[in-house]
Structure 1
């Protein structure tokens, strides 16, 4: 199609063209031939390009298919929740790595008996959370709710019971600084005691650590324990627990200056021992957000 126009006016970037039947058309002046001014006559040819249409349509549908394959066929996978450790007043939960595919994570929440716990994860890469302030010898139900840009997904629901006072298997100690005169035999005696009561130990402070056994302040383990509000006690506390056959108050065995805040909160076998909070038996369950120096 060939159309003839008379240039009526040329402004910066835009020209006014006049048709033979006196219609005004705005036309980009950059597309006009060089030197065109008012009064000039120009012929403009317009034609359809079917081959270009087919190519653009093909590219568009190919893009749609790629978007569908990448974002529409692989939704996020619900996480799998499991119990990592249990004590008289706390439960440590862990879960499998989050598989989001192309979705974005909005939030991650732990629910206890249908109620959301106020959550403060150490780091998402750590994949664990410690719920404290629970009652002794009581069954709880937990599940994880993952909110993403592709929807909300829930993990499996699991039930677990907190330990009784005579169940010492939830104790998990780490070893802190010792006096120079303390021999390896003393450490071996502590490990033998742990074996007898079914408890565990580790060389460094971890998410499962319930107590740090130490004779003096200082060191990496001591700093991590104080930062994470883990009780730092003398080894005698462990032997008394074995002797009595039940969990004992740790307040009288705290290393001087290590748990001042916890000792001032109250007393009792539960409040001064297995729970981070001094008033754990009377407090509502919450999540102990330990902040690890390295990344779940």
Structure 2
């Protein structure tokens, strides 16, 4: 037997080959089992083989580094708790408020449910998207507290509380309309100018946070979506009347209805 700091060399006599294993006999009469598949070709009973065992320090250190990196990655991924949600007010009108929150940071837990709270009481709210809700049925010029709580597999987390006061009847800044089909597109120009004077706004597409849908013709995909979302459909005179009277006007007096079909 030959040995140094990093490797050892042994000599054996092959005793028996059986079922993929070889019985090797050392000069000092120690018997060991050895995989026959890695013996040199042509080895049979009685053959003498030399076996050198080396310690691969470089590979050993590499495996240690890989293991430590994996361990650190697992720790970083599963040791971070979920973060509390952060909400803010997206839009305010006289009778409803839209809340939105930043994308949830859950880390290793899973989301079970999102609960909406008004003045400390859990309520039902209409989801506008994965990160936005619309809370309707509010009183004009009234202060409310809102927050959300997320239920996860790791427990319940509460957001910040947002205080908000709904608009008074003479606050027109919450008006957010979408324009539909008109007999003449030039009719939209004075309506946009009116919105600017009231510090109100409009959107290009119909969404759940539109307060009204303004058109003169009941047609087109925007009109269909507005009816599906139960958005009040009014003519342009409604907007001009709001500006003239300096207060929100009832939608019922300015509704645009579908013309009756012949024979009805």
With structure 2 as the length reference, what TM-score do the two structures score?
Answer: 0.69
CA contact (8 A) 2:175 2:211 kept: yes
CA distance, structure 2, for counterparts of residue 257 and residue 104 of structure 1: 47
Equivalent in 155, 161, 166 of residue 157 of structure 1: 161
Q: Distance in 2 between matches of 1:120 and 1:163?
A: 20
Unmatched segments (≥5 aa) in structure 2: 1-18, 20-63, 260-264
Aligned position for 1:47: none
Give distance in 1, aligned partners of 2:193 and 2:128.
32
Distance 2:208 2:227 in 1: 13
Map 1:1-296 to 2 at 5 A: 67-71=74-78, 73-124=79-130, 127-179=131-183, 182-184=184-186, 186-257=187-258
Shift of 1:183: 4.0
- What CA deviation, in whole Å up to 9, does each residue of 1:231-286 have, x standing for no partner? 1111111111111111111102111149xxxxxxxxxxxxxxxxxxxxxxxxxxxx
Question: Is the CA contact (8 Å cut-off) linking 2:126 and 2:134 kept in structure 1?
Answer: no
In structure 1, how many angstroms separate the alpha carbons of the residues matched to 2:258 and 2:93? 25
CA distance in structure 1 between the partners assigned to 2:256 and 2:139 by the alignment: 26
The whole-number CA distance in structure 1 between the counterparts of 2:202 and 2:91 is 13
Native 8 Å contact 1:109 1:119 kept in 2: no
Q: Is the 8 A contact 2:111 2:151 kept in 1?
A: yes
CA RMSD of aligned residues (A): 2.7
Q: Which has the higher contact order (CA 8 A, sep 6+)?
A: 1
- Higher strand fraction (1 or 2): 2
Q: Name stretches of at least 5 consecutive residues in structure 1 with no aligned partner.
A: 1-32, 34-57, 259-296
The alpha-carbon distance between structure 1 residues 106 and 183, as it changes in their structure 2 partners (threshold 3 A), is closer
- Rounded Cα–Cα distance in structure 1 between residues aligned with 2:72 and 2:134: 43
**CA shift at 1:64, angstroms?**
7.4
2:34 aligned residue: none
Cα distance between partner residues in 2 of 1:150 and 1:241: 50
Aligned positions, number: 201
Work out whether residues 172 and 200 of structure 1, in 8 Å CA contact, stay in contact via their aligned partners in 2. yes
Question: What secondary structure is seen at the aligned counterpart in 1 of 2:108?
Answer: coil
TM-score (norm: length of structure 1): 0.62
Aligned-pair CA distance for 1:68: 3.8
State the Cα distance separating 1:209 from its structure 2 match.
1.0
In 1, Cα distance between equivalents of 2:110 and 2:168 = 41
In 2, the alpha carbon distance for the partners of 1:106 and 1:149 equals 7
